[in-house]
Amino acid sequence: MTLLTLVRHGQTDWNLARRIQGSTDVPLNEKGRADARAAATHLTGAVHHAIYASPLLRARETAEIISAQLGLEPPVLVPDLREREFGEGEGLLVSEYIERYGDWSAPVPGAETLEGVADRALDALDAIALDSRRRSTPAAESVIVVAHGGVIRALIDHVSGGTLPRPGEVIANGSAHRFEASPGSLRLLEQNVLL
């Protein structure tokens, strides 16, 4: 069994503008770097053995800030933790996206489905739990995973059977969500624990 603390990356200028980033590689802004430092401060209350991250710059930089502050090895980058591909919706303001497509689950040309995001993220978390146990002596029991709002939302939706997050509930930049992973199983323990 492995405790996985999923942290959403810090703020970017596109987050601030409410622009859909998806796979666009947008860096953190100064507030985002402060979000990462604040997340690290909150995470100091527990022991963590390793850190993993999406390779997108905003998640990677958040993970680097957290790992440096906690004295962990540099983050291991996991491509399947990347944000949802939004296809033709990428780069639009949220208001433009909703006006054009109606809602987040509507089919968008070139976009991944929420189920597809959850499937690849679940596979990534299984691999992380296995990898962290192999890398550490004793086996890692607590791992930080820095990802994206869409990935975290898809995972919470999947493990809660669609009851969480509640409509309108925000996955805030720098927030943490704790899961328990065992072979073939993922269970939500807490969400938005850094708010």
The pLDDT tens digits for 148-160 are 999 999 999 999 9
Whose CA is closest to 89, among 68, 75, 103? 103
Arithmetic mean of pLDDT, 163-175? 92
What is the band of 195 on the pLDDT scale with cuts at 50, 70, 90?
Answer: very low
Cα atoms in the Cβ-side hemisphere of radius 13 Å centred on 12: 23
Give the chain's mean pLDDT: 93
What one-letter code names the amino acid at 113? T
**Res 20: pLDDT:** 97
Element (H, E) at 193: none
Provide the sign of the torsion angle of the four alpha carbons 130, 163, 20, 109, taken in this order.
positive
State pLDDT tens for residues 80-125: 999 999 999 999 999 999 999 998 888 999 999 999 999 999 999 9
Whose CA is closest to 30, among 1, 61, 74? 61
What's the rounded Cα separation, in Å, for the pair 178 and 9?
A: 15
Full-model pTM: 0.94
Name which residue leads in pLDDT, 192 or 176: 176
State pLDDT tens for residues 122-137: 999 999 998 887 766 5
Check pLDDT > 60 for residue 47.
yes
Burial class (CB in 10 A: 0-12, 13-18, 19+), 121: buried
Catalytic one of 61, 83, 90, 112: 83
Q: Note if 9 is an active site residue.
A: yes
Burial class (CB in 10 A: 0-12, 13-18, 19+), 38: middle
**Res 139: pLDDT:** 55
Catalytic one of 9, 48, 49, 177: 9
Contact 40, 70 (CB under 8 A): yes
What is the band of 138 on the pLDDT scale with cuts at 50, 70, 90?
Answer: low
